[in-house]
Structure 1
């Protein structure tokens, strides 16, 4: 290994970053979430839409990594380059704050899992649960401050460890597969509310976004890659493997239990299902795997939170304070702010009736705007024929993928509903203060005319969201 490559991330490590980012809390909640919404037929349609849309988005990340190797930190850098400073800031802020909210969902699910064995943790939002989560936040914080390379190594080990119980779940349910029961559940099953196929599929949309979050894990760490081409390869490899697991985890429970029973299970529903099939040890086995999985995903996303904020500050679109690194090359100021935000949201779960679902859906909604800007930037690159001098057939292919990815993210925003758009604006509006701080710090013009219009739309949405929360028309 050359001196230049020392400390860089290899293809297996980058792939594990993608897998580690994607396999977290979401996969363990899929059976009940889908059971509440639809049967196997609707689930197949939902996964076809989600996997198809996210595959095109993965191909956009792959193409951009190859065509624009000068842009680091993926999501934020692409949006800024394509659409200007303020839209780029919104992508960076949205992706960052969404990642922080996602980290809160991990702690809520950990405590909810422990609550099945120790009632003092309840559904993850009791005083004891909040205190325990707070201790965990700061233990991880100080571990990460010791160095990103060490944290990346731990993530690689944890990624392999947490896949084992998921694979065991799949193998056991394949052995217990009952074709007659699967057929009875196929069109929706008995004793479940009637809903149109469209409504069934729509009800699963935000959770499918949530479980695919992390697909850009390698792209975010592109500046650490040993070879730039490994970024795109790691993205596709991670996507294919995790998608296969998620579809199996969703579909196989319909072949071992009635849909109504699946829908009524406590989260994490994977544990409850395995308990119903093999006995109490199944719940303990999956719960242990969940704790490892979620802690590993939390580590990966803590790194991503800090890296996105650091990169935005490094290019002077966040206050320069957050570009500060410690002696271990960790963006320490960005990590401190990220974990302070996570801590504040953890405390707020005390007032939430269903903290896990709220965090899951809001994380998805916050991530869709950055994803939309990345997909649209892919369209711009292909249309302008940048870096396609002698490869016109690749340009047409990438244009198709980027166009589909753009349409998919727009559809997902609409499917999520107005409530989460307004809640997103409630965060985007005050968050713009960081942008104002950065611009004044540099003595630069605040907004262009188009950016003023975007800001106005964001603030109108923010005020409507606050009004909805105050009047009770939007509930947490």
Structure 2
């Protein structure tokens, strides 16, 4: 997309991109997700870990936006600059494919929401649900093809509209707050399987990553910002506001229902909680909010997916085809590939036991590797003291500490998510490397430049083979 032909985004618009990207399917599923895993005490610890780690990551994005203003392609540009072409490609591909899978989760949640009123949609992965979702995919596709500015305006409007039911949910639950019930649930409550505190917290980890995905929304569109400082401000503003909403949505249900009741809710569980408190209209109210919110998030992430693939192609990390634009300055080829992939994943949900949970966890797993590379690049910049001789040199040690904590957090999250999702990630990374081969051949370049590149590729292939073997034998399930 030509920057010259495109209006610059204000701080408010960039903040809206962060909020719009983060507030989607995940927040409406939090009560049941946490209710299945833990009580308020475990939830508080989980949010402290997740919020602390993601805050550090947000600070890394903020710092890099100022210290490396020339790297305006977002997440993957940092990986390429710091670690080479192939890691940069993997970061771009992982972020892109993870975002595609996240878009699939949105359609599953919309259809499972409708399933509460129309049984034909079931849990969001029936044949009818898949057909309706497919229609929606291509309606959005052709809307976006009409222009990026139109889509960004729609995103801003939807972002405001979807916050209203979430705030209403919080206010109503505050009004019905029962301290005795909250105390009874605090350490885990009764009627749920016994589990250690560590196990309880671990069970929430990928869910917390999922709801924080989008924190880099302003960074993805940094080249459209009026000033570079707005990118960092928008990132922190969006993070703080959305974090407060997510913690309240998680904890307040424990004060109106028992933990087994919360755990037994169908998704979106926010609707079930409000319905139990105020009656059936509560489910209708939240369900409308879910559909508006998720459609808005889907729009935002469709833009992100196309932008990542487009910019990667323009910087020779993806085949040139995906760096082309239509007459409306929209990366049409990138958008076509994105929605074809989304369509294929939507079809695949028919065979999934819990389609929403699978897509949520897999999205998180795919996003963690790009996030780790961003944190690692932050460490690299601070250790080399790049830019610190001219921009606030006293912040070097602080930034090194922040980036190190962010890197440790992402590694912890990858481990906590479990080997299943590491292998499923490899199942996507290995064949995805074919796009890298295609791009390198176009440029007449050697496929891999270093031994490290070969080692990474070999690890991806081994993981892919292991995943295929696990799925074929039933060791891994979807």
What range is the shorter-chain TM-score in? over 0.9
Structure 1 counterpart of 2:279: 279
Q: Is the 8 A contact 1:101 1:362 kept in 2?
A: yes
Does the aligned pair in 2 maintain the 1:110–1:124 contact within 8 Å? yes
Q: How do 1:319-338 residues align onto structure 2 when only pairs under 5 Å count?
A: 319-338=319-338
Count of aligned positions: 474
Partner of 2:431: 430
**2:360 is paired with a residue of what secondary structure?**
helix
Shift of 1:73: 2.1
Contact 1:19/1:242 (8 A) holds in 2: yes
What's the secondary structure of 2:399's corresponding residue? helix
The equivalent of 2:143 in structure 1 is 143
Q: Which residue does the alignment assign to 1:87?
A: 87
Contact 1:5 1:226 in 2 (8 A): no
Q: CA deviation at 1:4?
A: 6.6
Alpha-carbon distance in structure 2 between the residues aligned to 1:35 and 1:118? 25
1:39 to 2:39 alignment: yes
Using the TM superposition, give the Cα deviation of residue 392 of structure 1 relative to its aligned residue in structure 2, in angstroms: 2.3
Identify the range of structure 1 (390-399 vs 430-439) with the bigger mean alpha-carbon deviation. Answer: 390-399
Aligned to 1:402: 403
**Alignment partner, residue 417 of structure 2:** 416
Distance 2:258 2:5 in 1: 53
RMSD of aligned Cα (Å): 1.0
Q: What do the CA deviations read for 1:338-365 (whole angstroms, capped 9, x no partner)?
A: 0000001111111111100000000000
Query: How do 1:12-411 and structure 2 match up within 5 A?
Result: 12-390=12-390, 391-411=392-412
Measured in 2, the distance between the counterparts of 1:128 and 1:87 equals 40
Q: Secondary structure at the match of 1:214?
A: coil
Cα deviation for residue 39 of structure 1 reads 0.2
Distance in 1 separating the partners of 2:117 and 2:60 = 44
Structure 2 distance, partners of 1:362, 1:132, is 23
Q: How far apart, in 2, do the equivalents of 1:238 and 1:81 lie? A: 26
Deviations 1:13-46 (A, max 9, x none): 0000000000000000000000000000000000
- Are residues 259 and 147 of structure 1, via their aligned partners in 2, closer, same or farther at CA, if it must alter by over 3 Å? same
Whether contact under 8 Å (1:320, 1:438) holds in the other structure is yes
Partner Cα separation in structure 2 for residue 288 and residue 454 of structure 1: 45
5+ long unaligned stretches in structure 1? none
User: 1:228: Cα distance to partner?
Assistant: 1.2
| Corresponding position of 2:461 | 459
Deviation, structure 1 residue 6: 6.5
Tell me the CA shift for residue 224 of structure 1. Answer: 1.0
Q: Could you tell me the TM-score, scaled by structure 2's length?
A: 0.98
**1:146 CA drift (Å):** 0.8
CA distance in 2, matches of 1:65, 1:326: 29
Instruction: Tell me the distance in 1 between the aligned counterparts of 2:54 and 2:387.
Output: 24
Cα gap change, 1:5 to 1:398, in 2 (>3 Å): farther
With 248-257 and 452-461 compared, the bigger mean Cα shift is at 452-461
1:472 alignment partner in structure 2: 474
Deviation per residue, 1:194-214 (Å, 9 max, x gap): 000000000000000000000
Instruction: State the 1:5 CA deviation.
Output: 9.7
Tell me how far apart the structure 2 counterparts of residues 222 and 200 of structure 1 sit (CA, whole Å).
38
Distance 2:331 2:229 in 1: 25
Q: Distance in 2 between matches of 1:411 and 1:302?
A: 29
| Mapping 1:443-458, distance limit 5 Å | 443-447=444-448, 448-458=450-460
- SS of 1:94's partner is helix
TM-score by length of 1: 0.99
Structure 2 distance, partners of 1:414, 1:431, is 23
- SS at structure 2 position matched to 1:72: coil
Once the 2 structures are TM-superposed, how far is the Cα of residue 225 of structure 1 from its aligned partner? 1.0
Return the alpha-carbon distance in structure 2 between the equivalents of residues 5 and 183 of structure 1.
Answer: 57
Measured against aligned partners, the alpha-carbon deviations of 1:410-463 in whole angstroms (never above 9, x if no partner) come to 000000011100000000000000000000111001002221111111111111
- Go from structure 1 to structure 2 and tell me whether the alpha carbon gap of 1:4 and 1:454 turns closer, same or farther (over 3 Å shift): closer
Task: State the shift of 1:394 in Å.
Answer: 1.1
